[in-house]
Structure 1
């Protein structure tokens, strides 16, 4: 897999995503999800909110790279607050 240029940060990223998906699957089995209506006005489940969080975080990181010259870890902090907000209010 040399053509993919795997690095430790890349492997860690995909590993964390895999662990998150496994954790959410186990949670869904042990504690069945009950959809709830948030500020979007539509019903969402934990999986929906995870998807919204991942998609939004990707856009936050892309905007951070394109618009700011600050270190990338700052985008991680913004993404963490974004994730908390999504799971709390969406």
Structure 2
């Protein structure tokens, strides 16, 4: 990790993203996806909803940093609620 100057939280973040991708691949193999139409009125799969939740979470964290400052624990809670809502209703 030293050659990229990563910190442990950065490495944990990217490992979590990799784990999510592996989980989504395993789910796609074990339980094939059926696109569904949610509140956005577009067809989405689990992968689409993961992408939407990751993208929205990035914007939530940036907004949190702009308004509240560095401790991101509150932003993490908001991101988890947002991701749950995306997977439920989108």
Equivalences for residues 40-79 of structure 1 within 5 A:
40-69=40-69, 71-79=71-79
Q: TM-score, normalised by structure 2?
A: 0.94
Q: Gapped runs of 5+ residues in structure 1?
A: none
Q: CA deviation at 1:4?
A: 3.0
Equivalences for residues 1-90 of structure 1 within 5 A:
2=2, 4-69=4-69, 71-90=71-90
Q: CA deviation at 1:5?
A: 1.8
Would you say how many aligned residue pairs link Structure 1 and Structure 2? 90
Q: TM-score, normalised by structure 1?
A: 0.94
Tell me, in whole angstroms, the C-alpha distance in 2 between the residues paired with 1:69 and 1:53: 22
